[in-house]
Each structure stands twice: as C-alpha cells, then as structure tokens.
Chain A
Amino acid sequence: MERVGSVLVVGGGVGGIQASLDLADSGFKVYLIDHRPSIGGGMAQLDKTFPTCDCSLCIESPKLVEASRHPNIDVLGYTELISVEGEAGNFIAKINKKSRYVDVDICNGCGACTAKCPVKGIPSEFDEGIGERRAIYIPFSQAVPNKATIDVEHCLVFTIGRNCKGCRKACTLDAIKLDMEDEEVDLRVGAVLFATGAVPYDPSDLTQYSPEHPDVLTAMQFERLMCANGPTGGHIKRLSDGEDPKRIAFIQCVGSRTPKKDIEYCSAVCCNYATKEAIITKEHSRDVDISIFYMDYRACGKGFEEFYKRGKEEYGINYIRSRASEVYQSNGNLVVKYEDLDEAQIKEEEFDMVILSVGLSQPKRTQDLLRKIGVNLNEFGMVETVMNHPVETNVPGIFVCGTAQGPKDIPETVAQSSGAAGKIGSLLSDARNTLTVKKELPPEKDVTGEEPRIGVFVCHCGINIGGVVDVPAVVEYVKTLPNVVYAADQPYTCSDDGNKQIFDKIHEFDLNRVVVAACTPRTHEPLFQATCAEAGLNPFLFEFANIREHCSWIHMDEKELATQKAKEVVRMSVAKARLLEPLERGEIPVNQKALVIGGGISGMSAALDLAAGGFPVCLVERSGELGGLLKHVTALPRGKDPRDILNETIKKVEENDLINVYLNSEVTSVSGSVGNFTAKILSHGKEDEIDFGVAILATGGDEFKPDGYYGYDGKRVITQLELEKIIDEIEANTIVMIQCVGSREEEPPRTYCSKICCTEAVKNAIRIKERNPKTEVFILYKDVRTYGINELLYRDARDKGVIFIRYTDEQKPVVNEYVEVYDEFIGQEIKIKPDLVVLSTPMVPNEDNDAVGKMFKVPLAPSNFFLEAHVKLRPVDFATDGVYLCGLAHGPKPIDECIAQASAAAGRASIPLSAGKVIAEAIVASVDEEKCVGCGVCEDKCAYLAVSIEDGKATVNRAMCKGCGTCVTACPTGAMEQLHFKNDQILAQVKHAFAW
C-alpha cells in the first residue's frame, strides 16, 4: 500500500512543536494544528521551568518561530480536528479552520486593532482569567501565528449587531473580514500524532478550598501573576486589594490523589512546580513566608531532589507534611486548616494568599474526539499505551505523546515527542521527502571586489515606528551616507509587498548590501535574508537596524530624540553593512550508519528503531549477552512479565540484518565529529575499527549494592533486585522494606532520588501479599513517591494490608534481630521482627560513563549520569552534535520512559542520518594562519572543543564551532575572527554609534 509522506500533529504545545520540527527535519510534510489562536501550549504561559528556573517562553519561543518558518510545517492555529478515517500510512483527517474574522494572510500582528476595541475586561484565557483582553486580541506578544482573532462571543458586531468600526478603522491593512466563514479541509496524511496535552484541574467544585476567593489562585494563575508578561507585569500582589502578600500557602494534591473516581492519580509535576514558584517568589522578595502543605514530596526526576533541598535549605521554604482540609476567610485573610501528619494534630494558620497546586486533567473535548476515532483511553481519560510501546495507541498509525498519555513534565514530554516522531519516521520511511518542498535559489551573485552598493529600507510599521520616529527624515539622512545608493520608506517592510520591493530594488539598483530598519533581527532577520537569497544576494550581506523595539516603542514621548536615535542606529548598521562579506553555509556529509553503546532494553530499542528507518547499526555490549538490567526483573507493575518483552526484543535484534551486535566488546577510542566518526572496538582481544555518522549512548546502570547499610548481607538483608529473584519462593511471616537506602544522601554522587524504588517496593509488596496475604509487609519510607498512575498501586498496597511507616533522616531505622523505627505519627518506637529485610537502593550509573564521556567529549552530571544538552528541551541530545543518550545513562527511570527515550534518541539521530548531511554553522570562528602563533588560548576558551592547535596553528572544526566568538575575543594576536561579527565590523558600529 502506498504510504503518504505527511503527518498531522494535533496540539501545538511544546510536545507537538518538537514532534513537528523533528518530522519536518527528517523529510515529512507536517500539519500542526491547535484549537487555540496561537501555538505554545501551557509552556508558553509559564514564567519559569523547574529545576533550573529557566525563563519558559525564552526557551520555547525560538521553537515557535522555527516551526512557523519551516517550509514543511503548516502551522494552523484556531483549527480543530473533526475526524480521522483510513489506515496506517493513509488517513484522511478532516479539520475545521475556525474563522478568526481576520485575514491571516494580510494581518501582520501590529496590534493596532486591539487597542481600538471598545469591549474591555474579557478574562484572558492566556492569563488564566486573572488578566483581561479585548474582543479582538492576540493572546500574547510572541504568539505564533502572530495574528489577531475576533471573539464573536464578545464582539459588539456579533453580539448586539452594533456597527462598531473600532478595529476596522484601526487596521490600515484592511485585514478584518467580518463575513469570513469556517472552512473544512480534508488532509491526506500517513500518520496522526496526538499531542493534545492536559489542562490544569479546575478546582471550582472543591469549595472547601474557597476557590472563588480572589486571593486563592491556581498554580497556573500564580504563574501568570509572577510572569513579566502577565497581568501585573510580574508584580506578585493580592488581587483583592493590591497588597504585597507576606505569607503564602501552597496546597498540594488539589485535584489529584483524591479518592474521587477520576482524580485518584498523582499528577507528577505539582510538587516540583510548587517549589519552583516558591523559590521564584522568594527571589522577588526574600521576606515572604512560604509554606507548602504536602502529603509526600515527590521529587521524581533528574535534579528534582536537589532542587527540593535548595528550596528547604537555601530559601527557607516551610514544607509541612500534612493534609489540608479547608481554606476559609477570616478578617480579610485566609486560614488554612490542616492535619499535621508529623504531629498528628489539627492546626490552623493564617495566610495572605493561597495557591492551589492543581493536578493535570484530560480535557473532555479531546477525550470525546479520541474515543470517536477509536483510540482507547484509560479510566482517567488518558490515552492507553503499553509498557514497550509508550507512544503508540491501539490504532495503528495513530500516535500519542506528552500529557495526553499521562501526567509528566516537559523533558519527558519532549522525549516522547521525539520518540513518536522517530516511530512515525520509521512507519513512513518509504515516503520520506515525497511531499516536502525545497526552495530553489538562483545562483549567487559574486560581489568580491565590488564597491558596496547599499540599499536601505526603513519601515513605518503602521504607526508603530512612524507614529514616533519621523521616518521620511531618517530616509533623507540615510541617503547622505556613503555607499547608500537607494533608500526608501515602506509601510510594512515585512509584508509580501515590502519583500517584493526589496527583491526588485536589488535588481534595479544592482544592490550588493541590504539594510532593513524595522523591528528585531531575532524574529525577522531570516525572512529578509531569505528575500536577499531569492534575489541572488548572499544572505549574509544583509544587516538589520532595530528602530522599533529599541527605539520607537521605548521613546514614545520623545519624538525628536527618537528620530535622532533612529538615524544613528541605521547609520551603525550601514557602517557594518559596508564591511559585510558573503558566507558559506557549508554542508557536511553524514555517514548513514549509527553506533549504539549498550545492549540493554534502551540500547536495543534505539537500535531497532534506527534499523526500522533503514539505517545500519553497530550495537556494542560490554557483557556476554543482551538484556541489561531488565534481565533481573521478574514482574512489572500491573502484572506483566518483563522477560517476555525482553526476549522478544532480543530476538528482533538478533534477527535484524541491519544490526551488527558486538558482545564482550568495548569502545576504546573515538575520533571525528558529527557525520564522520571513527571508533575502535576491542572485541575478544582484537581491535576492530568502525565508521559511523551518529552515536547513541545507552550505557545503562546498575542497582546500588548497599554494603555497610543496615547489615546488608545478601541473605537476610537483601536488595529489591535480589528479592525479585526469590520472590516466588520465599516463605516469611514478616518482611520489612526500607526505602531510600543509599539515595537522597547529603553528598554527591547519590544526592538524587532514584525515581523508581517506591514503585518497585510497592509492586513487590503487592506480589508478596497476593501470594500469601498472611505475610506481614512493612515499608519504611521518607516519602512515598509512586508518581503518576502508580499512585493506584500505593492505594492497592494499603488496601491489601501493607503497612507504611515514615522515618526521618534524624531517626533512621535500626536493623538488628529486630527492626526498630520511630513512628512519628503515633509517637512511638516500633519493633518488628522480620524474616527478611529488603533495602530499596538507587540505580547507579555505569562505571564506564566517565571513559565513554571523555571519548565523545560529552559531560557527566555530579551523579555521574550523563548530562544532556538542555534539561528541559533537549533531553536526549548532547551539546555535541551527533551524539545522543537514552535510558538509565540519562538517569534513573522506569522501563516505559527508557523505551520512549530510546525512540527519541533514535528519532533525533535519524534527522542527520536521513538527510545524509548536516548544515554547518556559517557564523563561525576562522583563523588567519599568518598571524596565529599557536599559543592555544583559543583552544582553552572553546566550550565545544572545536578549536585545536595543529602543527602549531589554531584550527577550527567547522562542524563543531557554534559561533559564539569567545575564542576570538581571547586571541592575543588578532589571528582569530568571528565571521559576520568581525573586529572591524563591530568597531565600525562602535565608531558610528553617535553622530555629533
């Protein structure tokens, strides 16, 4: 059957965007739809992200722009999916493009209409109802597409038929079309990916928490309150009276872990976002008191435990183990009533503000749609998947990623997105590059030796610039500058018409440099560069002058000085433009083979995915057999036998012709860079050399052997994995399990939470109980971290009579003949006589990581797990191109997450593999060998190891250089230059900065 080389991605949050980019980059046409006016999803609303407190929009917004500009991604905002019919490889998806009543081809997002709309005070969805918008609006300033939308529920024309012309008059482009209609379209696609996301739980029915009170906010509302682009400009204040709060309470597990049917699960992210919001609040003002009322603190993820600790120790946040039952008003303040679980007492405390840490729930509309299409959902409305296929739904060809499949954080979402993109890539691999377009460009004009002939285009941007800056005066001034052969003003340079003008004038005046004075290069430079390229001019002969964000918008009352500044800003750009040189975006050919290190479930899954995409793989395993750590696990939560999955996987790997397995082997050296690596493999005493284009590090991990902890002897005191082996034979009356043995410690390397041990212990406790309900099982814990739907296992274990006793670091249990533990809740020392003690110890990284990391020049975290390129958005990439990671090599995680990451790593690796080439950075460092004395300062300064001294001269590896220019600044002889930011180019700007 013929497969179609296009994909529909439903949902434009970070997951949908990442999947779209991955798919489009690997040769597929993508339709990315979102029912909201802009893509960006929940991440765009966040102020910061945990645990790094990175600015959320700053890291997401480049992806929005990239998606919107990608020639093979159609971003369709304000569009809904109606139905999907057909079969894997060939579906018809019916979508409805809802009418915005604004022609998106004309609207340029200037926002003039919004300012003139008389309907104010509509609660803004983007601000979670605590900010306002008008009836015609753009949800946020970085919206993509950046187009206005009329909300017919509020617009006076539609509601009361008034002939209001506010927006229509304000729009100088005539983009508002009140007679516009919805448009249904059939898309032919090979696969559909649901990245529909979850939404914050709506607490309005939990009246015990006074959710209607203006100072009781959901965490997402609080996020908007903290955010600089939120309704208060980032000023944290009470919405009731505008006062700065002095005492803030966070109540955890609101709308999760509740014995109400549809919200029994744990939402997995709330503990960490509460700590993040608390820390940021403290950073705004140190003297705010913050208390977090929680049941179990669940820091399940890389770096989260350390983050929690910072919250406690560095920021003095009070974490109160409790169950908050009520929030009520008293004398204008809020009182939180709670049961203190450490002291077993009911208490009350007053606060100025209360934040409800609400869980993630599945939007009803998405659930209905998914059911209609035939996708199985679980009892909570999440898409059901199986352990070894975490991104595949029951319908072949329909995939899922992100929180639609269950609560999870951003990196896990991103990993699943890349994983789903990888899987889709394999499914549709025959149809790769069949529907994608590539722009054909005319041959480039040779400008070497030519006198600069500069054309300058000054934009009015409606009234955005022209309303403040005297644009014609700027044009007149620019005409007097040397080498300027053409200068003109334009209403909107970015419009199609504006670009056409540039194109025409390049030909008419034989321009060899172009300057646009308008908005910011960060969003618009690629557009004008593309126009130059279409006119046969090297795109690096273009220069921007920012006279909007950096001038007209910030000097609105100083028109004369603003005009003067605009002249000087353009003058600086012209000065730089004079010295611009054409640059090559070189291509590096990619050897279409992969190396995977590690033959556990992660490495094998990655190898299989790569092979399914048609790429040969070398799989190197140090031990004598495939299977890794999973070999020792005898049951999975919810009953399945992992050995079935494992054996099936091993068989597939062994039978696959494209996978070459090296057992009892290790990699001893690596050279080269993305596209062209060479490695030596030591196998049975002899060395082999292999070439490959990309590598995946799936080095796995092991269970920590707790020698010296609680009398561990491997017989009466054993580990969970040792228990797995004997669990079906043990005869014991009493078993005690102790959690966090050797993890969450004070000092590195094991300061982390190992994420899976609580679930592992609870799972084994249930198995024991199911075999013999009479066996008494005690679990001694610090926090029960059965996150996500594993929460149900915890409940099940309690129902089956497993006894949970909390211990603290101050009073750890003592194991002798008896196990003694102090139970805070009943305030008593408890003595248990066990037949068996089981220690829950953490996953520890492979000891080879250090050596492997050095060979590939990739870093390790303090825990000795590998450190990815970006903890949020690049979970399976390294900063070094062409090298990826997955599974336990990245950090402790359960099997389904390992497999999702494996698919993600394979998917990411398939991008350069399928393209057969990578585009090299154009703005890189370059060396003047005449001047270079080989001192090596540059080599030391390069964070990417792209510079080395060879034969006494600095050499830049173009494939590795990212173009920051740091080495250039360090060079004492002036031998190093950063292309496009050369010393003389910047000095020219400096010189022309101020006209006297």
Chain B
Amino acid sequence: MEEEWIPKITLFCCNWCSYAGSDDAGVGRKQQPPTTRTIRVMCSGRTDPAFVLAALLEGSDAVLFTGCHIGDCHYISGNYKAKKKFEMLKEVVDELGLEDERLQLQWISASEGSEFAAYINKVTEEIEAIGPSPLRQEWMK
C-alpha cells in the first residue's frame, strides 16, 4: 500500500473562475499529476467547513479552496466570505495537528490554466513531501 500511495487531494472549485481555469488547463493540455478530485460549487462562498472536515476525515491528504480572484467573484463577494471560512478552518486544522499544506486557498481566474496546472503540481509535491494524512492512517486502521 505504502509504495502505491499518491496524494489524494479534494479540490473545491467555483463554477465561474477556478473550475473554468481548470478547464482551461485541460484545453491547453497542461499536464498535472492525477491527484485531485474536483467538486464544483457555484461560488467559493459555498465551500462549507463541514465539507472540508468531511474530506479530511474521509482520508483526503489535502483540501484546496479555490475561487475567483478577489474582486472578480461572480456573486460580488462570495470569495471574501470563503476567505474568512478558510481562515477559521486553518485554526481547526492546526488543532487537529495537521500540517499547513493540507488546507490551502488559491484564487484562479478562468484564463489561468497554466497557473492552475503549476499550482496542482506544486501542491502535489508538497503533499508528497509530507506524506499521507495522519487522519487517513488512523482511518485505515
């Protein structure tokens, strides 16, 4: 099992920017490791802390909050609210004794396919470096 391990990353994307940016990466054939599973929400403001915690408890090695750049949210200010949620969750994740890399926030516009791919590559490397989530190992027992 250990040898085959590759990071499992749950990725929340908003419909209007980061999901579109991820599409753009695909259209541009920007290669990425197959480590992410995407959940599309209409706005990053919908990314519920409960989903994030569930993903971590279900054994995701990392969870990524993504959305439109500040100022670009399709619903005016959903991403500001997402950012607040994220900051609050950061503390929870800290409490759980998880590394910083396991919960991240990144704004990606609809045309930033290259940036999107670079980001997924970077996160994957980071998670590879720190290994599987301890929560997941507990869960595996």
Q: Which residues of A contact B (CB under 8 A)?
A: 47, 52, 54-55, 57-58, 61, 141, 227-229, 233-234, 520-522, 546, 548-551, 553-558, 561-562, 564-565, 568-569, 572, 879, 923, 941, 943-944, 962-966, 968-970, 978, 981, 983, 986-987, 989-991, 993-994, 996
Contact = CB atoms under 8 A, between A and B. Distances in A.
Interface of B: 6, 8, 10, 15, 17, 19-20, 22-34, 36-43, 45-51, 54-55, 58-60, 71-72, 74-78, 81, 85, 109-114, 117
Given A58-B111, A994-B59, A555 B23 contact: no
Contact of A993 (B28, B37, B48): B37
Contact of B42 (A52, A227, A964): A964
Given A943-B78, A990-B10, A990-B55, A58 B46 contact: no
Given A555-B34, A962-B75, 16 more contacts: A57-B110, A58-B111, A141-B27, A228-B114, A229-B28, A520-B26, A554-B29, A554-B32, A555-B33, A562-B34, A944-B76, A964-B74, A978-B46, A986-B41, A987-B51, A993-B39
Contacts of A989: 39
B106 to A, nearest CB: 16
A554 to B, nearest CB: 5
B44 to A, nearest CB: 9
Nearest to B49: A969
Contacts of A983: 48, 50
Given A966-B46, A990-B10, A558 B34 contact: yes
A705 B6 CA distance: 69
Contacts of B47: 969
Contacts of A551: 34
A966 B73 CA distance: 12
Contact of B111 (A228, A555, A568, A969): A228
B41 A981 contact: yes
Contacts of A993: 8, 10, 37, 39, 55, 58, 60
Contacts of A549: 22-23, 25-27
A247 to B, nearest CB: 25
B30 to A, nearest CB: 6
Contacts, number: 159
B75 to A, nearest CB: 4
B20 A966 contact: no
B23 to A, nearest CB: 4
A549 to B, nearest CB: 3
A969 B110 CA distance: 24
B133 to A, nearest CB: 12
A994 B60 contact: yes
Contacts of B113: 228-229
A966 B47 CA distance: 8
B6 A964 contact: no
A542 B101 CA distance: 35
Nearest to A544: B40
Contact of B58 (A556, A562, A991): A991
B90 to A, nearest CB: 16
A956 to B, nearest CB: 14
Contacts of A554: 25-26, 29-32, 117
B104 to A, nearest CB: 17
19 contacts: A47-B111, A55-B110, A58-B17, A58-B110, A229-B113, A522-B20, A553-B27, A554-B32, A561-B6, A965-B43, A965-B46, A966-B75, A969-B47, A978-B46, A983-B48, A990-B39, A990-B51, A990-B55, A994-B60
A674 B62 CA distance: 43
Nearest to A568: B37
A963 B74 CA distance: 11
A966 B81 contact: yes
